[in-house]
Structure 1
Amino acid sequence: MKVTSVAIPLVVGVDGSESSLEAVDWAADEAERHDLPLLLVHAVTPDRGAADLIGVATERARRNAPSARLSGEVLRGDPATALLGKGRNAFALVLGCRGRGDLAGLLLGSVSLAVAARADCPVVVVRGRPAHRDLRFRSVVVGVEDGEGSGTAVEFALREAHVRRCRLIAVHAWTVPFGGLSEPPPPAGYGAQPLRRPPAQVLDDALRGSAERYVNASVSRHVVEGPARQALLEAASDADLLVVGARRRRGHLGLQLGLINHALLHHAPCPIAVVPQM
């Protein structure tokens, strides 16, 4: 079943780099899967050549997804700020892992990182080899933390697994509390947590509400004792999409990505979606 009641677009940032064109390919397929309009956005200062760049990206998207509803827009100003503005009314923002202006040695482009850290909507950074971008593995992985920070991410991941007709792998990593029965403050982010509830219960609680809305989804529960970064990277090695949650900062705008999400954005072997907690 496609999502047909949502009129807001899927937005993809385009800067002419090969990485951004790979993001266009991924976003075109995603727009078709969800029956969403696809908006290609290019932000520049000045705007010379922008129309041609959008035209190239549009033709590429049309080849991959002939039935997608396509439009393009050129915005003046800082790319990260422009994309964040579009993200206030978007199904998701889709970005390449490296931009045209980023240094070759960077693992993640500066614009992509800035947008992932501050967007109001889910942000997908398209990473990995073609095998990880072309639905060859038939699986979506979602990281689940002990707490309430994963609810929106689990909902997003279940919906993706549903429209792709593939399995969802829910991963919860945990560690034994230091000092036996003592419990240190929880670390920032959604990574491996000191043991509070039984790990299996953490997964059951996180999946219960959303799984009832996607009763036909195939869900596997993986409990891993050890670092969350390692557990999620290993699970994502055979996945088409990795989904993680991001908490809102207390008293501040934007998100708290945490060290684990930063590492995953830089090293994930497949496209990664960062989903803000609602």
Structure 2
Amino acid sequence: MTELDLAVPFSGIDPRGRVKFSVLLEMFQEMADADASKYGLSVRQTLEHNITWVLRKYRIELEKYPTKESGDIHIKTYAEPCRNLFSLRSFKLWDSRGEFLGSAYTWWVLLDFVKQRPMRLDKCELMTAFKERVNEVLPPDVKIPAVTAPSIEETWKVRWQDLDVNDHTNNAVYFSWALDTVPDEVPEFMEPALAEGEFIHPIPRTRVRCLTQEVETEKGRAFLHSLRHIEDDTEYAKLYSRWMEK
């Protein structure tokens, strides 16, 4: 388990004084790397053994959206086995006054880089640090419906700076693309309270389109997002975002 206070850079604040969502995800990545490195399980360390981590699912639940007034963000993270198929990493975050901001969860698969096959956690000698459960109750699984009637479409080119150490598009970029497709009035007057992702295929350096569909929700506004190859329509990821008024 690792706990750190992370400062929000000036460039990480949006025009309405909120922490940019992508910056929040980058904070989670920094925390995850710091914690995994203690056990020799960071991506850089596992690659030395021809093993790497592949993100499969992500959920971010914010009770209060962080702003520049939040000060340093205190984040706690830990990882644990989930059905011996996933490493479930949990995050909890608070503002500088100790007010709880929300939680995030990521599900990771351990991949044999040579065979390109997932590995069971109990079959890997590196995973001795992950033999114990932490949460008494695991978070609900992430299952995102397909986009069936998109009303918005945006396209992007994967840039060099979008890539991570696995030479694939970083997961924070997925969310940036998806959340950027909502109508302009949504980020202007609302904040993302829930964001989820299912990652199907890694995105190399290519061109991508995002199809977005608004769906019914009891509170706020909600959207389904599908990231696809711009030519052959391969689906790379499915995402969901729910926005609430400030």
* TM-score of the aligned structures, taking structure 1 as reference length: 0.24
Q: Which has the higher helix share?
A: 1
